[in-house]
Amino acid sequence: MKNRLKVLRAERDWTQAQLAAQLEVSRQTVNALETGKYDPSLPLAFKAARIFGLHIEEIFEDEA
């Protein structure tokens, strides 16, 4: 699944650790999300959308 997490995080000058703290996950999970090695659960996707003030579809994109 493609996503814009890295770009959105960089626009806010947040580290992976800072985003991880807000998402209540590990920094390694944020890294795995950003590199496409891990697809978020629905609750995690909703939490990311709330943090960035966007719709889920504006952050995550299915690669179908």
Supply the DSSP string of the chain, one letter for each residue: -EE-HHHHHHHTT--HHHHHHHHTS-HHHHHHHHTTSSPPPHHHHHHHHHHHTS-HHHHEE---
Q: Give the start-to-end residue ranges of the domains of the chain.
A: 2-61
Fold assignment, 2-61: 434 Repressor (Amino-terminal Domain) (1.10.260)
> What's the mean pLDDT in 42-49?
98
Q: Please tell me the predicted confidence (pLDDT) of residue 35.
A: 95
> What's the mean pLDDT in 50-62?
96
